[in-house]
Amino acid sequence: MTDIASHPQPVTVLGTGLMGAALAEALLKAGRPVTVWNRTSAKAEALTALGAVHAGDVAEAAAASRLLILCVRDAPAARTVLDAIDPAPGRVVVNLTTSSPEEARDAAARAAARGLDYLDGAIQAGAHIIGRPEALLMYAGREPLFRAHEETLRVFGPDTRFLGADHALPALFDLALLGLVYELWIGYLHTLALIGAEGLPVGSFASAAGKIVDDLVQHFGALATEVETGRYDPETFGRLVDHEVISGRLVEARASRGVDAERLRHVKRLIDRRIGQGLGEQGFSSIFESFRPAAMP
């Protein structure tokens, strides 16, 4: 077993923008020898003050370590850098550039065609929380490659997850999580508008909202099981017939105060459609059937 303390694995970081610099700094803080390269060299040079070695080009940077972390603006930029890396025994490229699922698969295929060992990853964290427990980092590709470098990758955050062999998975999870964040934000902001429409300070409502959301989160696992099994328990979130009444009241409360009620009207339409199909006794989560993807098992 490698003695990490006395022989820390060198790591190369390709791209030292805001995120790449944060990744390099975390590695340096963890005692790893770090080589950095950036297209605009001044940004990489700045990291030498913290102990990094500055490489003049991609080939020199790649030669310095077996583990190469790639983090540039977007997939086309990552392609340019990837094409400048030559394969070598034990050399692994971990691409942490934000990409679409399709771009991630494309980059993996490109790397494979060139004989490069490759993992794709996604970062759900701002640069300022790299290394902290709040950061979520997700990886996919050949599992032995991930396990071989897992300890080093955990330097970027203890919540480091391996999702599977399909390189598109981190990008897909990343997009899905961003979608969830938007849905929660927009829901909360509409709720604040309802409270504010009564002339109340919206801050007085924040802790009540937080309590309810904390409680909802406890049901995420159960809801996923309902969706997987197609069995929608009315005990989890109540019957559709009850929600028809509540959602109608809510639409009225928002609309009568001049607050946008369109999103809730959409929710009510979904509920009404299920009730119209004679399914009103099913649980709220059964409205998933209105948008269940055909491809789902």
For ligand NAP, the binding residues (CB under 6 A) are: 15-20, 38-40, 43, 71-74, 77, 80-81, 97-98, 123, 126-127
Residue 129 CB, shortest distance to ligand NAP, in Å, is: 9
Question: Smallest distance from the beta carbon of 113 to ligand NAP, in angstroms?
Answer: 20
70 SS3 class = strand
The C-alpha atoms of residue 226 and residue 235 are separated, in whole angstroms, by 12
The CB-of-276 to ligand NAP minimum distance in angstroms stands at 43
- Smaller CB distance to ligand NAP: residue 77 or 275? 77
Whichever of 73 and 190 has its CB closer to ligand NAP, that residue is 73
Q: Which residue has the tokens 């390099």?
A: 24
Report whether 136 contacts 157 (CB < 8 A): yes
Of the pair 23, 92, the CB lying nearest ligand NAP is at: 23
User: If you ran DSSP here, which 8-state letter would residue 93 be given?
Assistant: E
Adjacent-strand bridge partners of 141: 119
Distances (CA, A) of 234 to 136, 217, 241, 243, 265: 33, 17, 10, 11, 22
Phi, psi (deg, nearest 5) at residue 228: -65, -40
Nearest CB to ligand NAP, comparing residues 19 and 55: 19
Q: Which helix (H) or strand (E) holds 97?
A: none
Q: How far is the CB of 25 from ligand NAP (least distance, A)?
A: 12
CB of 20 to ligand NAP, least distance (A): 5
Q: Is the CB of 72 or the CB of 264 nearer to ligand NAP?
A: 72
Closest approach of ligand NAP to the CB of residue 150, in Å: 20
What's the residue count for the chain? 297
Q: Any idea what DSSP says for residue 281?
A: T
State in angstroms the smallest separation of the CB of 175 from ligand NAP: 12
- Residues contacting 26, CB < 8 A, separation 6+: 130, 131, 155, 156
Q: Which DSSP string do the residues of 202-263 spell out, in sequence order?
A: GGGGHHHHHHHHHHHHTTHHHHHHHHHHT---HHHH-BHHHHHHHHHHHHHHHHHTT---HH
Question: 111 or 261, CB closer to ligand NAP?
Answer: 111
Task: Return the number of the residue (84 or 259) whose C-beta is nearest ligand NAP.
Answer: 84
